[in-house]
């Protein structure tokens, strides 16, 4: 029986998730040079199967360039509802095994398995069981790595892909890392890597050699100590489990009861803008929403709907919410309170498919942070006008 580890972290990463999902949807694509992405001229590759990686095709590469490298490439459009469904199934598996899971992307997770060692004393058997359950539940293969820290587990998984199982025993971290290229270390960007490689320093092990120390200090400065700790396998970064907040909401009570959509819509829309902004900052997306109304007799009615895929960009969310509000409004009722909740929060999948939209949204979020949400409107609703209208309608008591 394997010895008990003082700390044990399990990292899981689905192999070429989007490309593998395309094969699940259409099994005739199995083994073929599939890539998921947008069409040329402006599209980019979101995920490349292992068959096209052999040609040098990588994710985030312009599709036009990928087609030059691999003319027989089969381009498949992204299928976000499918990815969301697969992510939920993956969560079912992790919930079966682990009390807490940290998702770092739609297909990557960490779990602290230190306390699971009583039930699963052999990390190889635990890793194999998780892999088998993921394959059985989703049809996807994954690579699992167990190590004493997150960084080593992640690096090991990258080194053992695809369909791999890596167990880096405590005490063997530095020896495992030593022969790997320095660019395998998180935080070691292409620029630093290039500069350091020019000094003749190529491997993670080289970072610990005293003869390179002066040159490394010149290039990495105070960051060197952190890289050296990682190179020794020292990494106590904790697994931060999924956040408690499964929903966010906002509501307000009116001075004057109303049933006028021209008053209610802009208020709900304003809530949506604020809540969606918060989700984007937290890297979350909402799978569902609830519109809530309280009438003059304090009766509460709600309408809950799910989005076809988790969203955090308010212009995409608004049409559904607006329809739900319209369905909920009763012509004879007047309302004293309106609220909006966003729920089924999940880690937001990186919107790889439309970088320009992502950059624009990020720029707006920075503006909102600096100046408050009133100066920037992602949607086109004239909220200010409607507020004035509300004020005009106010009757004296
Ligand atoms: Mg993956």
Please write the tens of the pLDDT for every residue from 304-328: 899 988 899 899 999 999 999 999 9
Q: What is the pLDDT of residue 344?
A: 85
Distance 108 CA to ligand 1 centre (A): 6
Mean pLDDT of 149-164: 95
How long, in residues, is the chain?
397
* Active centre residues (catalytic): 108
Q: Where are the beta strands (DSSP E) in 238-370?
A: 247-258, 284-295, 300-311, 335-347
On whether both 335 and 208 belong to a single domain, the answer is no
Q: Is position 287 within any domain?
A: yes
The helix/strand/coil state of 31 is: coil
On whether both 384 and 259 belong to a single domain, the answer is yes
Q: pLDDT, tens digit, for every residue of 20-49?
A: 999 999 999 999 999 998 888 888 888 899
On whether both 193 and 257 belong to a single domain, the answer is no
On whether both 219 and 320 belong to a single domain, the answer is no
61, 78, 95 - which closes a domain = 78
Most confidently modeled range among 103-117, 135-149, 230-244, 275-289: 135-149
Output the six-digit token pair for 33: 């040079």
Burial level of 138, CB count in 10 A (0-12/13-18/19+)?
buried
On whether both 297 and 199 belong to a single domain, the answer is no
78, 100, 130 - which closes a domain = 78
On whether both 207 and 261 belong to a single domain, the answer is no
Q: pLDDT, tens digit, for every residue of 181-204?
A: 998 888 787 888 898 999 999 999
Q: What is the pLDDT of residue 385?
A: 32
Matching residue, tokens 């320093």: 201
Distance 211 CA to ligand 1 centre (A): 37
Q: What is the pLDDT of residue 35?
A: 94
Could you tell me how far CA 109 lies from the centroid of its own chain? 10
Q: Is position 43 within any domain?
A: yes
Mean pLDDT of 263-282: 87
Strand 45-48 to 165-167 pairing: unpaired
pLDDT beyond 50 at 387 = no
User: Any idea what the CATH number is for the domain that residue 44 is in?
Assistant: 3.40.1170.60
pLDDT beyond 50 at 99 = yes
Distance 145 CA to ligand 1 centre (A): 13
Phi, psi of 293 (to 5 degrees): -130, 140
Distance 178 CA to ligand 1 centre (A): 24
Mean pLDDT of 335-342: 91
Number of domains in the chain: 3
**Which residues form the domain of 301?**
247-393
Distance 17 CA to ligand 1 centre (A): 5
User: Any idea what the CATH number is for the domain that residue 196 is in?
Assistant: 1.10.150
Q: What is the pLDDT of residue 362?
A: 67
State the pLDDT confidence band at 391, using cuts at 50, 70 and 90: very low
Q: What is the pLDDT of residue 394?
A: 29
pLDDT beyond 60 at 105 = yes
Of 322, 315, 260, nearest in space to 291 by CA: 322
On whether both 282 and 359 belong to a single domain, the answer is yes
30, 60, 78 - which closes a domain = 78
Q: Is position 124 within any domain?
A: no
User: Any idea what the CATH number is for the domain that residue 296 is in?
Assistant: 3.30.1490.100
Q: What is the pLDDT of residue 243?
A: 55
* Side-chain-side CA neighbours of residue 90 (13 Å): 26
On whether both 293 and 377 belong to a single domain, the answer is yes
pLDDT beyond 70 at 350 = no
Q: Is position 115 within any domain?
A: no
On whether both 278 and 316 belong to a single domain, the answer is yes
Q: Is position 185 within any domain?
A: yes
The sign one gets for the Cα dihedral 217, 219, 222, 227 is negative
State the pLDDT confidence band at 384, using cuts at 50, 70 and 90: very low
More confident residue, 378 or 300: 300
On whether both 380 and 293 belong to a single domain, the answer is yes
Q: Is position 144 within any domain?
A: no
Q: Alpha-carbon distance 288 to 321, whole Å?
A: 10
pLDDT beyond 80 at 379 = no
Q: Is position 27 within any domain?
A: yes
On whether both 222 and 311 belong to a single domain, the answer is no
On whether both 221 and 310 belong to a single domain, the answer is no
Percent of the chain exceeding pLDDT 90 equals 53
Tell me which of 127-131, 202-206, 242-246 is least confident.
Answer: 242-246
State the pLDDT confidence band at 60, using cuts at 50, 70 and 90: confident
Q: Is position 46 within any domain?
A: yes
Q: What is the pLDDT of residue 382?
A: 32
């Amino acid at each position: 029986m394997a010895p008990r580890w003082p700390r044990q972290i399990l990292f899981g990463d689905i192999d070429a998730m989007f490309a593998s999902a395309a094969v699940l949807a259409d099994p005739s694509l199995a083994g073929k040079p599939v890539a998921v992405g947008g069409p040329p001229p402006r599209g980019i590759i979101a995920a490349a199967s292992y068959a096209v990686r052999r040609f040098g095709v990588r994710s985030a590469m312009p599709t036009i360039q990928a087609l030059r490298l691999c003319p027989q490439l089969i381009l498949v459009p992204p299928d976000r509802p499918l990815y969301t469904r697969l992510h939920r199934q993956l969560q079912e598996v992790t919930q079966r095994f682990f009390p807490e899971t940290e998702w770092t992307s739609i297909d990557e997770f960490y779990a602290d398995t230190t306390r699971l060692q009583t039930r699963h004393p052999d990390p190889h058997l635990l890793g194999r069981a998780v892999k088998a359950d993921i394959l059985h539940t989703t049809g996807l293969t994954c690579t699992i790595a167990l190590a004493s820290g997150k960084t080593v587990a992640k690096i090991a998984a990258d080194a053992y892909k695809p369909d791999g199982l890596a167990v880096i025993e405590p005490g063997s971290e530095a020896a495992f890392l030593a022969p790997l290229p320095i660019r395998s270390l998180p935080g070691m960007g292409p620029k630093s890597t290039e500069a350091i490689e020019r000094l003749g320093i190529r491997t993670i092990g080289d970072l610990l050699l005293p003869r390179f120390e002066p040159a490394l200090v010149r290039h990495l400065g105070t960051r060197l100590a952190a890289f050296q700790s990682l190179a020794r396998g020292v990494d106590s970064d904790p697994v931060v489990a999924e956040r408690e907040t499964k929903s966010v909401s906002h509501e307000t009570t009116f001075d004057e009861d109303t049933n006028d959509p021209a008053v209610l819509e802009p208020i709900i829309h304003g809530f949506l803008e604020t809540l969606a902004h918060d989700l984007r900052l937290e890297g979350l997306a909402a799978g569902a929403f609830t519109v809530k109304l309280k009438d003059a007799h304090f009766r509460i009615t709600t309408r809950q709907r799910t989005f076809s895929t988790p969203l955090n960009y308010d212009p995409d969310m608004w049409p559904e919410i607006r329809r739900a509000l319209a369905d909920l409004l009763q012509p004879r009722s007047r309302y004293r309170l309106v609220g909006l909740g966003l729920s089924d929060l999940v880690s937001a999948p990186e919107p790889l498919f439309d970088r320009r939209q992502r950059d624009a949204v990020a720029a707006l979020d920075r503006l909102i942070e600096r100046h408050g949400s009133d100066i920037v409107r992602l949607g086109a609703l004239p909220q200010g006008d409607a507020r004035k209208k509300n004020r005009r309608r106010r009757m004296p008591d």
